[in-house]
Structure formats: structure tokens, C-alpha cells
Amino acid sequence: MSLTCSVGIAAAWESRFFNPKPTDGDVVMPLPCEGSMVFRRVHIPLTKPLEDFGVTLGSEGAALRYLEQAHPAYIAGSFTTSTPNPGRYYLMAKYEVTELQYQSVMQDTCPRPSMKLMLPKVEISWFEAMQFSDKLNLWLRANALKSLPVEDGVAGFARLPTEVEWEFAARGGNSVSSTEFREATFPMPEGMNKYVWFGGSQSSNGKLQLAGLLQPNPLGLHDMLGNADEMMFESFRLNKLDRFHGQAGGFIVRGANFMTPESDVRTSWRQEQTYYRESAPNKQKTSGFRLVVVAPSLTSSKRSQEIEQGWSELGTRENAPSPSPQSQQSNSTSTVERLSNLMTGLKDEKLKKELESLRTELRSSNQTRDEQRSIAIRSALQQGAFMCVLLNREGRFYDGLKKNYDESCAKVETLPKEDQARCSLIKRNVDTRQAAQELALGLYSDSIVEAGAIYTTQMVSPEVAVKRQQLLSRKSSNLGAYVDTYWSHLEQYLKDRKVTQTEWLSACKKVSVN
């Protein structure tokens, strides 16, 4: 079967046949037959290859908890980037694979673009979806290798998404707040009908709909919920509270479909499909797929060495009980290192294995502690930034009222009685706003002192960049600038242990209002 699909007789597709709703940040990759497929970046604000981002997936209130119970998971990107923010990303297809795209890759002759071919490709088996990605990868490597993103000199490849990749993107990734991320669906300010094709006459009316007609999720991805449910890369497993069951079953479909009742549409929706029905591969009229583009984990010997170095450092840091300047500069040996030293030269092999097992358990425990602490620090940074916002608003409000009072009521005793009454009212407002400012300043100061009693500079510094990128991903005004301001105050306090409220108030008020 030809991989070039008679390109010579095909004309380039109009954008309406592969990207009906163009958006800034779209990544367009070529297909055979002069076609295209559009992807969106899913950004993770971590840069090192062994770093991953902890999230909670699933649903706390799921009726079928053995399918969807909330559980911890971890996500990481494939491709390193410095723009617009440092981190790593993977690519998720903006739309479900359409009939037009499927035919352009799988057929010997090129299809003629038409709107009826803009329906998601359904009624194919999981094996055919895998075959599609294989043929596409081979074609890209033979004809458009430079269109693939590169990590450490190695070109990426397309495949079905994993459950974590899919659900993280479906929920909105870091483009939504932590609270919005945990909701049953991504934010839908215009109502579900504007974002999801679900079952019923008020929506899909029991029919598959053209790709991209409705509004996208916060990452710019269309039809993540509804229309066709989507096949995942890995096999299905039952949920066992905080982990998955050991038996791997059929394949997974996610996202619900055009037959799903509105009340059942949710990001945690997942079901198992068998690979075969009777004597043939399983094909469902409600099931389609979309692709991700990712990279191998071990791209070079240099990258392997970098990962090995990072792995050897996992869980080896000591948890400093007192983050004073003296303890931060201490070079005391950690418990993990002391265990390693005890093992050196030890001839009793049984005891050596026991110590090695103990060291591994300790490292694992320390690593869990470090990850939980990172989450707590990011939360503290966000709270500090919001309190700096409060100081900015209260401080500016108080300054404006005070200036008005000083200018218009400087000689209140010489004013007419009605003006004296007005000045008296302004003075009460000034006093009220001053009290509000002092309360906000007290809360802000408490947050710095309390954080300084728990964390060290070395603990907080790497989390500042992560939190700032999270806020920038949400396009949350200029909260990143408030994070920087709060961190500058906390960092100075960690050095000299001085509470400088006047300076802190002044700095927060100077952050530009956006």
C-alpha cells in the first residue's frame, strides 16, 4: 500500500477541512495528499527529564468508583522549550481524527476534501487506530521529518494518548486553576451545549457531528468531551482507590460520546472495550481517536547519564528541621548517606541487603515528602501572591481616600457645617480603610514569618519558577509579578529574619495593576 497517496494529483486542503477554528498557538503538521493535522501544546512547567508534575485525576463523587475513583497521577512533557515559558510539552491533536485525514493516510488514492469527510473517524478497531499512527509516522519520516518536534536531537512520533496525557489535557492542564481542574468538566461559561455533543434532541440528536463545530476547552482542544469517545494507548485496569488493579483488560475509551446523557458527561468518564467481538476486531459507531506527539525518554547516552544522576539524588536530601541561615549552610551528612557509608566495606551480605532495602525505603519516603512539600510551597506562594494583591488594592484605596481628605479637609474647622459633615464621613472611611490595610499587612507578614519557620531558600527557590509559569499559563493577569514580589520578601526574611512591613507594603503597592 502506498504511503504517498498519489500526492501529485492532490491540491492542498483549505483550512476549513483540517482547522475550522484557527487559534494562536496551533501547530500544523502535514499529511499525505497535501493534507494537514493540527496540534496544541500541553505545557508542563518542569524542565529536567526526571521531573514530573503531580495531579489528581478521576472523580471523588463517581458512582462507579471502581472505574473513576480519584487517584494520584504524574504527568511530564517530552519536548524542552524556553518560550513562552521554560518547561516541557507534548502535542495533543486539536480535533479528533476525521474521515478525510484517515483516508489520506490509509488509502492508495487521495480523497477529495468535503464537509461530509469532516466527521470524526469511527467504527474502526483499536488495531486500525494503531496502524494509522504507524503509517503516519513512516510517512512523516520519509517526507516531512522536519515538521516533527525534536528533543535532544531525536524526532518525536505520533501515537494514541495515555490516560494521564488525555485527562490532564481534557481538564485544561495548567490553563485552569487547581479548583477548576478538579471539577466534573472543564469551565463552560456558555453552558455545556456550546462545548459538548451529548445525547438528546437538545444536542447531538443521536448523530455524530462534524469536528470542531463547538467551543474548545481552555487548551484550545475541541470535542474532548462528547461526539466520539476516544481510544487510549494502554489497556484498561480497574481502580483500587489510590492505584490501578494488576489485571490488564481490553482497551480504554474516554470522554463520553454523542449518545451519552448530559448528566453523565464528565472528564473522568472512562469505559472498557474488548479488543474483539466474536470473530472480528471490535468497532463501535461511537468510538474514534486523536493523536499525541511525544518523544522517547532515553534519547542519548548523555541524556541517560543526566537521568541516572537525577535518579541517584532522589530522596537523598535531609529534611532540615530548622530553616535558619546556619542550618541552611550546614554540610552535615544525611541519613541516606550515613546508611551508604555503613554499607561500604561491609562483608555480611545479608546485613548489607537489609541496609540496602532500608535505604531504598527511606529514599522513597523522602521523595514522597519532597513532592508533597513542593505542592505545599506552591500553594503558599500563591496565597502570598493573593495577599500581595490585597495589599495593593487596600493600599491604593487608602492612599486615594487619605489624599482626598488631606486636600479637601486640611482646615476643616474653617469649612461650612455641611462640608465639615462631609469631611467627618471621609475621615471615618479613611480610618476604616486604614484598619483594612493594617489587617491585610498583618496577614501578609504572618504568611512570610510562618513560611520562614518551615522552609529554606533552597526549598522554595525552584518552586517559584513553577508557580509563576502555572499562573502565566492561566493568563491570570499579572499574578506572576506578585509571586515575584512575595518571594523577594520571603527570600530576604530567610536571610536576615527582619520583618519590614513598611517596605513590603510599598513594594506590593508598586506592582502595576493589570
Q: State the DSSP string of 357-382.
A: HHHHHHHHHHHHHHHHHHHHHHHHHH
**DSSP secondary structure string for all residues of 306-344:** HHHHHHHHTT-S---SS--HHHHT--PPPHHHHHHHHHT
3-class state of residue 462 by DSSP? helix
* Chain position carrying cell 485496569: 237
The Cα 366–Cα 43 span in angstroms is 27
The Cα 423–Cα 436 span in angstroms is 20
The Cα 508–Cα 512 span in angstroms is 9
Domains in the chain (CATH in brackets) are: 7-294 (3.90.1580.10), 371-510 (no CATH)
The Cα 392–Cα 208 span in angstroms is 51
Per-residue pLDDT tens listing for the chain (514 residues): 344 444 445 789 999 999 999 999 999 999 999 999 999 999 999 999 999 999 999 998 767 889 999 999 999 999 999 887 889 999 999 999 999 999 999 999 999 999 999 999 999 999 999 999 999 999 999 999 999 999 999 999 999 999 999 999 999 999 999 999 999 999 999 999 999 999 999 999 999 999 999 999 999 999 999 999 999 999 999 999 889 999 999 999 999 999 999 999 999 999 999 999 999 999 999 999 999 999 999 999 999 999 999 999 998 876 654 445 444 444 467 888 888 888 887 888 888 888 889 988 999 999 999 999 999 999 999 999 999 999 999 999 999 999 999 988 888 888 888 888 888 999 999 999 999 999 999 999 999 999 999 999 999 999 998 998 888 887 756 788 999 999 999 999 999 999 999 999 999 999 987 6
Residue 490: strand pairing partners: none
End-to-end CA distance of the chain, in Å? 57
Which residues are within 8 A (CB) of 23 and not within 5 positions of it... i.e. 6 or more apart?
A: 216, 220
- Residue 270 has phi, psi (to 5 degrees) of -150, 140
pTM, rounded to two decimals:
0.88
The Cα 4–Cα 207 span in angstroms is 33
